[in-house]
Amino acid sequence: MSDLALGLFEDMDLMPGEGLALVNSSAFSTALGALALADLAALLDSFTLVSALSMEGYAANPSIVTEAALTSRPFSGLQTHGRRIRTYLEGSYLWKQGGPRHLQDPLCFRSIPLIHGAAADSLAHARGQVAIELNAAQCNPVVSQHENRLVAAANFDMVALTMALDFARLAFSPVVTSSTERLAKMTDSFWSGLSAGLVEEDGVGATGFNGVALFHKSITSEARLLTVPLVGELSSSSHSNGNMDRASMAALGGRRAAELVGLCRSIAAMELLVAAQAAELRGRTPLGAGTGALFELVRERVPFAQAGHPPPHIEPLLDFVTTELPGFVTEAAEAHA
C-alpha cells in the first residue's frame, strides 16, 4: 500500500504539513466516514419509500402521516419523512373507506415516520460534524499564520468524527429492527390476513417467503451489532510511555458504517421483495402515486411468486436498491418539493 501511495504522489510537490496528513489516519477516517454517511442518508430515504409500499402490502392505517399526527410532534425529520410517505401514498386505496384493516397497527408500521424521522435528525447532526471535520486542521503542531507561531495541539484526535459516526450508525438500529418486524408481520397469516408465507395456497405447505423473513432477521441482527457505539469500547490504549493514552478509532467507525451500508441494502431489498408480493397478493387497488411506480419497477425485475415456486432471487432487487432506487427517490422528492 505504501508503494502504491508513493506512486500516486511521485509527480506532486507536497506543501508544508501535507506529509503528516498522509501518514496518519485522520484524512482516511474522514473520507471513509463522509462517504458512508452519504450512503446511509440515501438508504434512509429508500427505506421510507419501501416502508410505504409495505404499508399497502399490510393494509396499514395511513393516519400516522396525516397533518394532525405530524404537527403534534414538530421534529424536523418526522415532518420530512412523514410527508414523504403521505406523498408516496397519494391516491392509494389506504385512504378509502375500509382501506386500512385496523385502527392501530403494530408499532413497526405505526411508528415508521417517528423512527425514520429520528434517524434523519441524527444523520443531520452527524453530517454537520463531518462537514466541519472536512474543513478543519488535522495536524500537530498548528501553524498559526495570524499569530506567526507554532501551537501544540491534538488535532489528529478524531473524537468528534467517531461520535458523529456512532450517532449515525446507532440511528439505524430501530430502522432495521422495524423493517424486519414489518417483513415478519407480512409473511405471518395471523397478522397479514394473507395466505401463509405470501403464496397462494396449493396444499403442499410450501414455506414461501417465510425463509426470506428468517434470513432477514439474521442479517438485521448482524447490522445491529455494527450500530454499537465505539466511544465506549476502548478503555485504554496507553503506549509511548503513557503519552499516547487514547485512540478515537474513527477509522473503525467509518469501516463499520460502510459495512452497515452493505447490510442495509440487503435488508431494504428483501423488504421491498416481500412488500411487492404482499401488495399484489392482497389485490387492493389503486396503489399510491409513488408506491405504484415503485411496484412497477420491482415487477420489471422480479416476478410475482406463484404457488409451488420459490421466491424470486434477491440479486436483481439488491442491484436496484444499490444503483437505481436512490435516484428514483431523489426525483420523487424533487417532484413534490
What's the rounded Cα separation, in Å, for the pair 245 and 177?
Answer: 36
Distance of alpha carbon 42 from alpha carbon 34, whole angstroms: 13
Closest by alpha carbon to 118, among 61, 175, 156, 180? 175
Calculate mean pLDDT across residues 261-274.
Answer: 98
Contact criterion met (CB below 8 Å) for 197 and 208: yes
Listed by start position, the domains of the chain span 15-335
* 203: confidence class by pLDDT, cuts 50, 70, 90: very low
Measure Cα distances from 150 to 44, 136, 174 in Å: 43, 16, 46
From the list 177, 186, 202, 149, the residue with the least C-alpha distance to 272 is 186
Would the pLDDT of 241 be above 70?
no
Omega before 74 cis (within 30°)? no
Q: How far apart are the C-alpha atoms of 180 and 195, rounded to whole Å?
A: 19
pLDDT averaged over every residue in the chain: 90
Q: Which three cell numbers stand for residue 237?
A: 490504549
Residues ≥6 apart with Cβ < 8 Å to 189:
195, 196
280-329 per-position pLDDT tens digit: 999 999 999 999 999 999 999 999 998 777 889 999 999 999 999 999 99
Q: Give the CATH fold of the 15-335 domain.
A: Fumarase C; Chain A, domain 2 (1.20.200)
Residue 65 or residue 5, greater confidence: 65
d(CA 302, CA 311): 9
Q: What is the pLDDT of residue 242?
A: 60
- For residues 10 and 1, which has the higher predicted lDDT (pLDDT)? 10
* pLDDT above 90 for 2: no
What confidence tier does 155 reach under pLDDT thresholds 50, 70, 90? confident
Residues 6+ positions from 11 with CB-CB distance below 8 Å: none
How far is it, in rounded angstroms, from Cα 290 to Cα 135? 38
| Nearest CA among 309, 312, 314, 275 for reference residue 295 | 275
